[in-house]
């Protein structure tokens, strides 16, 4: 650490102190000054206060790395700070806030760059409470890279000749093979599209869903007649193959909708069972015999 850099930091803090008139900020600045002065006097006692401890680390880094207090390289600063944090016992909340502060400023700086404003806005950050440190980084000028480029410098590409040649035979044949393969794929696709059109016409989804709804209704009414408890699905069939298919599809539909449970104990050819899942208290199951009696003509 050089004495000039410490003077720079002290001067920086004094400068900000002279600008403010609010008492709480005075207190904060005084705190920073006392920390910096303790450093100046070689007082290396580690502060007990976690905030002081974290701040001292900041000063330590700024001074030992000869940072310009008006222009801190936040990328290298954050990097060093995180490394130091890992080595010493610090209050991670405070340290975290400091890192977050540095990150916020960096983010603002990068947004500034992206916005590409010609006028350089004053950096402002409200998310952190070390307001004086904020001022420390907030300079009117965004640190700008002083590049030295003669005005007239102009790069132009080297100009070379590009010879052209006719297409060779092999190239023509290769191209032909590729074109033929591509055309075959295109034709196959076109054929599949045509076939799908025909299929679509045969199976109008609207008719299909109407049929399914009717089927399910019919099967449900059959289930209702079977009473409660597990039922062998054979009991619901009432006819030939077509009826079996209709019933089975309807059962799958009901199972998918959570109305019934379907299961099979012996795989793969064992009996298939089903049971109604509707809670019993809201169910309207009818005893088959009672239902038959109801339907019977009144004598």
Strand arrangement of the beta sheet that strand 231-232 belongs to = 231-232, 272-276, 260-264
Exposure b/e, 232-267, CB count within 10 A at least 16 = b: ebeebbeeeeeeeebbbebbebbeeeebbeeeeeee
CB atoms closer than 10 angstroms to residue 39? 20
**Angle between helical axes of 205-224 and 241-256 (0-180°, round to 10):** 90
- How far is the C-alpha of 59 from the C-alpha of 44, rounded, in Å? 12
Residue among 48 and 161 whose Cβ is closer to other proteins = 161
One of 22, 89, 119, 177 touching other proteins (CB under 8 A): 177
CA angle 221, 225, 228 (to 5 degrees): 115
- How far is the C-alpha of 144 from the C-alpha of 156, rounded, in Å? 27
Reference 137, options 178, 105, 173; nearest CA is 105
Phi-psi region of 254 (alpha: psi -120 to 50; beta: other; left: phi over 0): alpha
- How far is the C-alpha of 133 from the C-alpha of 70, rounded, in Å? 11
Residues 6+ apart with CB under 8 A from 30: 17
Q: Does 282 bind other proteins (CB under 8 A)?
A: no
CB of 81 to other proteins, least distance (A): 13
- H or E element, residue 273: strand 272-276
Q: Does 106 bind other proteins (CB under 8 A)?
A: yes
CB of 107 to other proteins, least distance (A): 9
Number of residues that bind other proteins (CB under 8 A): 51
CB of 77 to other proteins, least distance (A): 10
Which is it for strands 231-232 and 260-264: parallel, antiparallel or unpaired?
A: unpaired
Which x/- pattern, by CB under 8 A, does the window 207-226 give for other proteins? --------------------
Q: Where does this chain touch other proteins (CB under 8 A) — which range of 40-48, 60-68, 165-173, 246-254?
A: 165-173
Residue among 180 and 241 whose Cβ is closer to other proteins = 180
Q: Return the residues of window 227-266 that contact other proteins according to CB under 8 A.
A: none
- How far is the C-alpha of 9 from the C-alpha of 71, rounded, in Å? 11
- How far is the C-alpha of 9 from the C-alpha of 31, rounded, in Å? 14
- How far is the C-alpha of 247 from the C-alpha of 226, rounded, in Å? 14
Q: Where does this chain touch other proteins (CB under 8 A) — which range of 4-12, 13-21, 61-69, 106-114?
A: 106-114
Q: Does 180 bind other proteins (CB under 8 A)?
A: yes
Q: Does 182 bind other proteins (CB under 8 A)?
A: yes
One of 154, 265, 266, 281 touching other proteins (CB under 8 A): 154
Residue among 76 and 271 whose Cβ is closer to other proteins = 76
Residue among 180 and 206 whose Cβ is closer to other proteins = 180
Q: Return the residues of window 33-52 that contact other proteins according to CB under 8 A.
A: none
Q: Return the residues of window 107-146 that contact other proteins according to CB under 8 A.
A: 109-110, 113-116, 142-145
Q: Does 175 bind other proteins (CB under 8 A)?
A: yes
Residue among 170 and 298 whose Cβ is closer to other proteins = 170
CB of 262 to other proteins, least distance (A): 49
Enumerate binding residues for other proteins (CB under 8 A). Answer: 75-76, 79, 106, 109-110, 113-116, 142-145, 147-150, 152-173, 175-180, 182-183, 186-187, 190
């Amino acid at each position: 650490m050089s004495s000039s850099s410490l003077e720079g930091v002290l001067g920086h803090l004094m400068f900000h102190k002279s600008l403010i008139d609010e008492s709480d900020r005075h207190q904060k600045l005084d705190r920073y000054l006392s920390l910096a002065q303790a450093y100046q006097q070689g007082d290396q006692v580690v502060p007990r206060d976690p905030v002081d401890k974290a701040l001292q680390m900041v000063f330590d880094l700024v001074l030992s790395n000869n940072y310009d207090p008006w222009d801190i390289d936040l990328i290298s600063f954050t990097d060093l700070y995180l490394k130091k944090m890992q080595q010493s016992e610090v209050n991670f909340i405070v340290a975290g806030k400091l890192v977050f502060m540095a990150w916020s400023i960096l983010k603002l700086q990068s947004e500034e760059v992206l916005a590409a404003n010609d006028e350089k806005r004053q950096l402002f950050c409200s998310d952190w409470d070390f307001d004086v440190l904020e001022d420390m980084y907030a300079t009117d000028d965004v640190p700008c890279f002083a590049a030295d480029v003669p005005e007239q410098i102009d790069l132009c590409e080297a100009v070379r000749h590009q010879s052209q040649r006719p297409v060779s035979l092999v190239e023509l044949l290769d191209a032909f093979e590729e074109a033929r393969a591509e055309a075959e794929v295109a034709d196959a696709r076109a054929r599949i599209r045509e076939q799908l059109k025909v299929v679509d016409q045969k199976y109008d989804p609207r008719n299909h869903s109407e049929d399914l709804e009717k089927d399910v209704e019919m099967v449900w009414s059959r289930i209702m007649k079977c009473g409660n408890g597990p039922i062998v699905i054979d009991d619901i069939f009432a006819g030939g193959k077509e009826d079996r298919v209709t019933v089975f599809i309807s059962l799958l539909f009901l199972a998918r909708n959570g109305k019934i449970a379907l299961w099979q104990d012996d795989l793969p050819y064992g009996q298939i069972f089903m049971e109604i899942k509707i809670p019993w208290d809201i169910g309207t199951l009818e005893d088959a015999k009672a239902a038959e009696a109801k339907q019977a003509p009144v004598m």
